[in-house]
Amino acid sequence: MTAPDASPSLSPLDDVRARIAQAAKIARRDAADVTLVAISKTKPVEDVLALIAQGQRVFGENRVQEAQAKFPAIREAHPDLALHLVGQLQSNKAEDAVALFDCIHSLDRPSLLTALARAMDKLDKRVPLFVQVNIGAEEQKGGCAVADVPALLAQARAADLPVQGLMCVPPAGIEAAPFFALLAKLAADNGLAKLSMGMSDDFETAVTLGATHVRIGSALFGAR
């Protein structure tokens, strides 16, 4: 889907919201079923606060350490914020991630699953999870192989981990729609209702194909 030019009268946040709403309308979906996760990695606190002032309440970070430095003070002032981890997670950071985040989009391997289960049990906190799928079978990318998804989900369910959906980052430079469609089928085949897919360049396509969470950075904050 070709993105319309941003209206000069709209803020970047309002523009993205309008484009989500239009894509949802095309797909005969309710735009309220799409969660906009504002990806604030590398952006200063001032930029986060500016979006909060406009009503944004869900943010995403790629690194545990950066989120630890940035968000505790922000959340003291704005306790209604939700914070999502969208980057790859090292097993030795699992406890820190469970303590800080409200949702983790990057479960991709059994060793991390074990670490997350241990951390959630220790902290008595169940954090919703997405299984990250290497949807394009790219060697340089993290994510669970498509063929390994059922086994990882079975292990997660056996450990009483709250996996709510699948996440992907499609290959760059080619049409994303087939990869989003594949992720949606994979989720449906495995009884999962949520899909974390779509970023600044392709979120409208993702919404038309069933995304429940879109991860938007540069369209909101500008280029990094």
Per-residue pLDDT reduced to its tens digit, 130-165 = 999 999 998 888 899 999 999 999 999 999 999 999
Domain boundaries, the chain: 12-221
178: left (phi over 0), alpha (psi -120 to 50) or beta: alpha
The tokens describing 135, both together, are: 């949807």
Q: Are 180 and 170 in contact (CB under 8 A)?
A: yes
Per-residue pLDDT reduced to its tens digit, 102-137 = 999 999 999 999 999 999 999 999 999 999 999 999
The pTM (predicted TM-score) of the whole model is 0.93
| Strand blocks (E) in 70-218 | 82-85, 103-107, 129-133, 163-168, 194-196, 213-216
Residue 210's DSSP bridge partners are none
Q: Are 84 and 58 in contact (CB under 8 A)?
A: yes
CA distance 154 to 60: 27
> What is the H or E stretch that residue 144 is in?
none
Determine the pLDDT at residue 151: 98
Tell me whether residue 142 is exposed, middle or buried, using C-beta atoms within 10 angstroms of its C-beta: 0 to 12, 13 to 18, 19 or more: middle
Please tell me the CATH superfamily of domain 12-221, with its number: Alanine racemase (3.20.20.10)
Q: Report DSSP state, residue 143.
A: S
